[in-house]
Chains A and B, each alone.
Chain A
Amino acid sequence: MKHMTRKATRHVNQNENLIFEKSSPGKAAWKLPPLDVPEVDTTKLLGKFERKDLGNMPEVSEIEIIRHFTRLSTWNYAIDLGMYPLGSCTMKYNPRVNEFVSRVEGLANGHPYQPAKISQGAMRIMKTLSDCLIEITGMDAITLQPAAGAHGEFTGLLMVRAYHESKGNARKKILIPDSAHGTNPATAATVGYAVENLKSNERGMVDVAALAAQMNEDVAALMVTNPNTLGVFEQEIHKIADLMHAKGGLLYMDGANMNALVGKARPGDFGVDVMHLNLHKTFSTPHGGGGPGSGPVAIKKILEPFLPTPVVVTKPDGTMAFEYNRPQSVGRVRAFYGNFGMFIRALAYIFANGPDGLRQTTEDAVLNANYIRKGLEGTYDLPYSTPSMHEVVFSDKVQSKKGVKTMDLAKRLIDYGFHPYTTAFPLIVPGALMIEPTESEPKEELDLFIEAMKSIAEEVEEDPQFVLEAPYNTRISRLDETLAARKPVLRWKPETRGQ
């Protein structure tokens, strides 16, 4: 350890092999109750379709399973351990009451096809969450069906397409700023649109003049992230909306950064026609190591006929029902109704906050990002001096002169007990360090982070090679990613026993 870190220390860390390497015949972690119906002759019932062997499936006891996964868990970093400033991912606190209420019997065991008479609770949750999200975004209607942000983008663009088709021309392309998430262009392609890049201006925002030049009747929509991936609010957003609308195009907002706006500004008020939300970002449903997410899509009235089916409606007698008869619908994007368990968690989060809490949350997120910006300005290069909202993007310009890149700095940050920021994104900043602290960090944690980042910058000056070799405090050192990609080993086989 070059410099001392106040946040982290090493502790004993258990080794653990793959579960298959712990397996041996005769061990078991299960017990079935006695059968209350006659036994069956499987061979007679299944004939040649009977499976005789389950291959290398493990055989282990319950304590081994508990230890196995507990040990694995200790090799992860998590919000519960400390600040996780992964920009754009919004790693905020995941309240435990959300987990608790999502497991209440009638919700956890509800079947998607149970009769409406005994589904009123679930529908009420969907309706209440929908109403809250419509109010928060300032939009007119919503679908909760998409399973994640990218799936929401897909759903949103399907509705954009259906809208244009209803006007007689689907149009050909989607405009996407060069600062956008990779999912935006990938989604546009999935919906059958060509992608046209839109250059950002010197302030890191949409170049309105360039947009005016590129906008024409072939453009179906502009996908804009606001605040954008630099953490910058698109100040000319209404001009952008007007430009789009004047030529019959729609304005899509990627709501990945909605946590900078909740309670402070509403996309529906500044001209957005369609947007997705990431419940796993703004509304605190847990990221769970990569999912599940949930990507509701909120829309303006003009797009309502195209919502995916079914839609929850309130009947004249006050009960709720799923409505399927919507002839202009884009169809279904997922079986059943979406990631319902995430709806429960997001709604519990909204309840816990209320209007005042939601606003304070947004304010604290922006406060934290600006505090970090102030603390690290001068130490790290700030490529855009435009004001930051909920995240701040630095670059490795200064450190790369010594051969140390953003990823190297990130690896060293691990030794200091922090999860790294997002590296090398957005693409318009060479060597980006994208830092999003969220509202969940106390001042003390932010101070430790600033101290760590400054300390690493000093280390780069003193001994760049030392930083290039980081991390030092993890179970394993840097992994050979080239080997993994060149000779993919994607599953265990008996002969691939590790050391």
Chain B
Amino acid sequence: MRYLPKSPADREAMLKAIGVRSIDDLFSPIPGEYRLSRDLNVPRQMAESEIVDWFKLRSKENGDDYTSFLGAGAYFHYRPVVIDALVQRGEFLTSYTPYQAEFAQGTLQAIFEFQTMISELTGMDLANASMYDGSTGAAEAVMMAVRITGKSSAVIARSLHPEYREVMATYATHQGIPLKTVAFTDSGRVDLKELEKSITDDTACVLIQSPNFFGTVEDVEAIAEIAHRRGALLIVSIAEAVSLGIVEPPRTADIVAMEAQSFGVPMGFGGPYCGVLATKDKFVRQMPGRLAGQTVDKKGKRGFVLTLATREQHIRREKATSNICTNQALVALMVNIFMTVYGKVGLRELAKQNLAKTAYAADQFGKNASVLFTGGPRFNEFVVRTSEDPSAINSRLLGHKIVGGLPLKKFYPELGNAALWCCTELTTRSMIDTAVGIVAESEGSVQSMKEAEAQEVAR
């Protein structure tokens, strides 16, 4: 076996040194009746070339030559090649949580820089080292708000990613956190009047997403004002991190629960991604997840350590702020490198290109079908309603090797034939024009069918 660095002679010598006759002697603590006396029924040992071929075939079956208008929590942005060049350095790839600080300063300093940049971008005081993803991060943020406020319930915007809401519901069930959902208005934003009515003295927090699931930027300040008036915290989930380059961050929020996938993390069929929580200084001791902090060594030299560990499960066990242990460190490093590459100016320019592509696409679609939720500014997603079922339009688009917008019927049946379309800097004008053309054809044929029917009726 090519990963095992021992010759048969080595094994013999080691068994002899240990003082046993055969390897089976070392497995004698396992009662005989449970010892497996056959080969596992898994594929036979494969050569590296066979493994590569097998996965290349799977890649072909997975639409490797399609372009797409899908967003909805997983965004296709350009990944600078330095990201993979750097994260594949063995010292990052094959190390673990920096428990021994003197021997892991590279990881620790990188986390400290990550925390700093996330804080800067979200407008919060501090950020943690990462959470699993945006959905679990949002759920952990709600549990954090419950601990901070001593109140028990939460109000969740219906314009929060539907799968984030599902995850939230799973977490809340056994925490005894009643959840109330607040609707969105025709503008695609949180219904402020309903929000006001939904909050009670027992509301620990309001959880919204901005830009929300429809791409619409929420009026965070107004929502914060309503939440704070009743002593509830405001948690803002951000699924499209690139928006932070040009959309004002939710500075009035108490906790930001972010999915940083847009920052240099491959879409990878849904993971691994990079959740992260950011908050105010005063809430740090209720924050879950690892934190790197600055300190000095015995000679006064600056260094970094994992800190405030008394919040964590390995110290506090059942009284910990969360059960999280392994996080998304290497993915956070991708995010970190992405943020460093684009930096202060590039992130804004990148976001601006996303904005321009989306504005153009929404305009073009709007000429042929109805673009919903025009009440507030949007970042890189928008909802298009067609006369025909969007799934039918999408199957025609697939013929052009284009994946159309996400049909919303499954999540929002009330929106009818609506689909969520997404553009990033990688969406080309010709892709947009092709998609718009097919939607226009669909609308046209539905229109002429209607006219034909009308004529039929008239006759």
Interface centre among A60, A118, A478 (most CB of B within 10 A): A118
Contact between A479 and B102, CB atoms less than 8 A apart: yes
Chain A residues whose C-beta falls within 8 Å of the C-beta of B268 in the assembled complex:
102, 107-110, 340-341
What chain A residues lie within 8 Å of B369 (beta carbons)?
A: none
A-contact 0/1 string along B243-255, CB 8 Å cutoff: 0111111000000
Bound complex: CA of A78 vs CA of B330, how far in Å? 13
Chain A residues with CB under 8 Å of B80's CB are 29-30
Residues of the B chain whose Cβ atoms lie less than 8 Å from the Cβ of A305 = none
Residues in A with CB closer than 8 Å to B201 are none
Complex alpha-carbon distance, A210 and B432, angstroms: 68
**Number of residues in B with C-beta < 8 Å to the partner?**
198
Query: Does A363 lie at the interface of the complex (its beta carbon under 8 Å from any beta carbon of B)?
Result: yes
Residues of B within 8 A of A97 (CB): 48, 51-52
B44 touches which one: A49, A58, A355 (CB < 8 A)?
A355
Please name the residue on chain A nearest to B302 by beta carbon.
A498
Kindly list chain A residues whose C-beta atoms are within 8 Å of the C-beta of B132. 147-148, 151, 292, 334
Q: How many pairs of A and B residues are in contact by the CB < 8 Å rule?
A: 691
Of A63-71, A242-250, A452-460, the segment with at least 4 beta carbons within 8 Å of chain B is: A63-71
A288 within 8 Å of B (CB atoms): yes
Query: Would you give the shortest CB distance from A447 to chain B, in whole angstroms?
Result: 10
> Is the pair B98, A290 in contact by a Cβ cutoff of 8 Å?
yes
Q: Knowing A75-B105, A185-B317, A476-B105 are in contact, say whether A51-B247 is a contact too (CB < 8 A).
A: yes
The answer to whether B136 and A32 touch across the interface, beta carbons within 8 angstroms, is no
- Rounded to whole angstroms, the CA-CA distance of A498 and B174 in the bound complex is 46
CB <8 Å contact, B105 and A265 = no
B161 interface hit (Cβ, 8 Å): yes
Q: Say yes or no: B163 contacts A336, CB within 8 Å.
A: yes
Q: How many angstroms between the C-alpha atoms of A73 and B330 in the bound complex?
A: 12
User: Which B12-65 residues have C-beta < 8 A from chain A?
Assistant: 13-15, 17-20, 23, 26-31, 34-36, 39-46, 48, 50-52, 54-65
Count, chain A residues at interface, CB 8 A? 201
Is residue B183 within 8 Å, beta carbon to beta carbon, of the partner chain? no
Q: Contact check, A110 vs B105: say whether CB atoms are below 8 A apart.
A: no
Inter-chain contacts of B116 with A (CB < 8 A): 18, 20, 56, 491-492
The A-contacting residues of B in range 262-317, CB under 8 angstroms, are 266-272, 284, 290-305, 307-310, 312-317
Rounded to whole angstroms, the CA-CA distance of A411 and B110 in the bound complex is 22
CB-CB nearest in chain A for B50? A351
Out of B42, B104, B175, which one reaches A355, CB within 8 Å?
B42
- Identify which of A120-128, A211-219, A296-304, A396-404 touches chain B: A120-128
Query: Contacts A72-B109, A370-B26 hold; do A183 and B136 have CB atoms under 8 A apart?
Result: no
Q: B360: CB under 8 A from chain A?
A: yes
Q: Which of B82-103 contact A (CB under 8 A)?
A: 82, 84-103
How many angstroms between the C-alpha atoms of A400 and B42 in the bound complex?
Answer: 48
> Which chain B residues lie closer than 8 Å to A357 at the CB level?
1, 3-4, 45
**9 tightest A-B CB contacts, nearest first:** A288-B330, A336-B270, A106-B64, A354-B45, A80-B90, A118-B63, A290-B329, A106-B59, A121-B62
A–B complex contacts, Cβ < 8 Å, 7 sampled: A158-B170, A182-B314, A237-B31, A336-B269, A344-B55, A352-B3, A476-B299
Known contacts A111-B74, A422-B99; 14 additional CB pairs below 8 A are A37-B357, A95-B3, A101-B52, A114-B63, A151-B136, A190-B171, A290-B129, A291-B130, A292-B327, A340-B270, A374-B17, A479-B295, A489-B293, A498-B302
